[in-house]
Structure 1
Amino acid sequence: MSGFGRQGDDYILSPEEIEQFHRDGYVTLRGVLSEEELAAIEPEFERFIRGEVAGMGRDFCDMSGPYGRKFEDFALVNAVLPRRYRPEIRDNLFERRAASISRQLIGETATLDYDQFLAKRPAKPDAVFTWHQDLGYWPTGTPEPLTATCSLALDDADSENGCLRVVPGSHRKGLRPHRPLMGEDREKSHILSVELTADDPVVELPLRRGDITVHDEMIIHGSGGNSSPDRWRRTYIAAFRTKACVDFERAIGFTHSHNDTINWETHLGALTAAD
């Protein structure tokens, strides 16, 4: 044995993989879950993607379109915080292995911040995830904002069905201005986007089923639509941040839910003024 890879509930990274994450803002890990292990988590994933979980409000939406789009017209099916709506999925094997990976990348206090199910339907070229930095969606005044976002491929992912694309090293160049994609605010849609420049190198990250990518909170990333006539691109996300960061988010009422009503930007401003 090499000493790296799957080991029970853990997935052990090599020094080179840890170095790449911090240098480039992302790393690709192969075979994080086996075929048998994937099959055990798919039924609950599919319940969400079929729209069978009630009471989610805006946490179930099309991540490439407006909130008002009918489910049958969704291109990029998005279910945020599934473990809130189906507690039965908590502490599954992917969560445990993602936690192990995150502790190695961002420290021993790595805490699950949010989870998310995404699925690009076949023959949906508009199932585009616009270029963005995750921190553009989140409070920027949090302590220790380091993030390890683990994205598990439930299907082979490539350029045809819209695999992840990143701008390596962009995490070291600061937070770019983000704008709502539809309208002047995010009342119509959750989507934010940034502009790329001619100097931004774009790298595609094709995956096999069971592989994951891990990226940090500042890397610019996105993905194209699904032009495959019959292949889905399904992704299970578990994002970890430091405990101090998660505790601060919850203290100001920020949970990553699209149903949150707190204006956390204003709230943060008030906190800063009071300090």
Structure 2
Amino acid sequence: MIATKSNLLTPLTEEQVAQFHKDGYILIKKGCSPDLIDAYNGHIYDIRNQDPMPQWAACEESKKYTLRLFNPHKHDSFSRQMMKLPVIRGTLAQLMGREASCVQSMYFYKEPGSPGQASHQDYYYIKNDPMTMIAAWTALEDKVDEENGCLWVIPGSHDLGLLPHGAVTNLEEHESWTDETQGADLSKNIPVIMEKGDILFFHELLIHSSNKNRSQDRWRRSYVCHYIREDAVVTLREDLREKYPLY
């Protein structure tokens, strides 16, 4: 499809909007150009290659390509531009019914051998009122699949409400410092296979997870932003109270 102002600001069909509300997620193919993603990947690596690293991006030298980069949109103009791509702004406006604002961003490196994150619901970590939060997960690799640690989702699980979360049970597969949902039927998990530039939008109560990157030499870089409706507020989390508009 040729990009025009109309289909960038209203990229979803009525059927796709209905599908999101039914399944709790929708995948937009090629929402971002590969050239832009290549430039962004290089830019992010340049940030942690600086000597010294900027304070907001600082970490141990041994972890500079391992530890995820938290909230780059707060400090970096390129990350803010990636946060508010027209296709993202338009999709969120269609799904929310009005403009969205960003409250959190994360750049994941996920090198070979690194663990995934156990099943969870984003609302557990980011309470907001009214509940309007949607994540936009952009694939930054040519292929994101089961081998290098793609996302897994349980379609329709956003209708279950917020489930209890507890300590991670499989530390060989998942990182230990986050919690996981309890009581979810993980047999209903399905993988979301993505290509560079694909963007997955998903509901804050959708149960999702990722597994260990079992590839030998394939990273699984991604840029993930969390958005709430412009009239909503984050509660409890003082560090995420500031809202960044998309216009």
Question: Relative contact order (C-alpha < 8 Å, sep 6+): which is higher?
Answer: 2
Q: For residue 37 of structure 1, what is the aligned residue in structure 2?
A: 36
Work out the CA distance in 1 between the residues paired with 2:126 and 2:50.
26
Change in CA separation of 1:107 and 1:76 when aligned onto 2, cut-off 3 Å: farther
Equivalents in 2 of 1:130, 1:48: separation in Å? 29
- Structure 1 residue 201: Cα displacement: 0.7
- Matched with 1:91 is 81
Output one character per residue of 1:211-268: Cα deviation in whole Å (capped at 9) or x when no partner.
Answer: 111111001100011111011101011221112223x549x724179xxxxxxxxxxx
Q: Are the equivalent residues in 2 in contact too, given 1:6–1:32 (CA < 8 A)?
A: no
TM-score after normalising by structure 1: 0.73
The aligned length equals: 233
Structure 1: gaps of 5 or more residues: 62-69, 183-188, 258-275
> Aligned in 2, Cα 1:177/1:197: closer, same or farther, shift over 3 Å?
closer
| Cα displacement (A) at 1:80 | 1.2
The letter of the residue matching 1:241 is I
For the residue of structure 2 that corresponds to 1:27, the secondary structure is strand
Counterpart of 1:7 in structure 2 is 4
Q: Determine helix, strand or coil for the equivalent of 2:104.
A: strand
1:208, distance to aligned residue in structure 2 (A) = 0.8
Equivalent of residue 104 in structure 2, options 111, 114, 117: 114
Structure 2 distance, partners of 1:146, 1:120, is: 28
Match of 2:220 among 211, 230, 233: 233
> Are the counterparts in 1 of residues 146 and 191 from structure 2 also a CA contact under 8 Å?
yes
Give the structure 1 partner of residue 140 of structure 2.
Answer: 154
In percent, how many aligned pairs have the same letter?
25
Task: Output the CA distance in 2 between the equivalents of 1:180 and 1:20.
Answer: 32
Distance in 2 (CA, whole Å) between partners of 1:160 and 1:256 is 36
Unaligned runs of 5+ in 2: 170-175, 243-247
Aligned 8 A contact 1:159 1:204 in 2: yes
Partner of residue 138, structure 1: 126
- Counterpart contact for 1:76–1:127, Cα < 8 Å: no
The answer to whether structure 1 residue 100 and structure 2 residue 87 are counterparts is no
Pairwise CA distance, 1:75: 8.7
Deviation at 1:37, TM superposition (A): 2.7
Give per-residue Cα distances to partners, 1:138-194, cap 9 Å, x unaligned.
Answer: 23xx32211221111011100000100001111001111112549xxxxxx751211
Amino acid at match of 1:136: Y
Aligned residue in 1 for 2:153? 166
Q: CA separation in 2, counterparts of 1:79 and 1:221?
A: 20
Aligned residues of 1:48 and 1:79 also touching (Cα < 8 A): no
Kept after mapping to 1: 8 A contact 2:151/2:210: yes
CA distance, structure 2, for counterparts of residue 119 and residue 221 of structure 1: 18
Is contact 1:26–1:214 with CA below 8 Å preserved after alignment? yes
- Conserved 8 A contact 1:149-1:237: yes
Cα distance between partner residues in 2 of 1:94 and 1:40: 16
Indicate whether 1:255 and 2:240 are aligned. Answer: yes
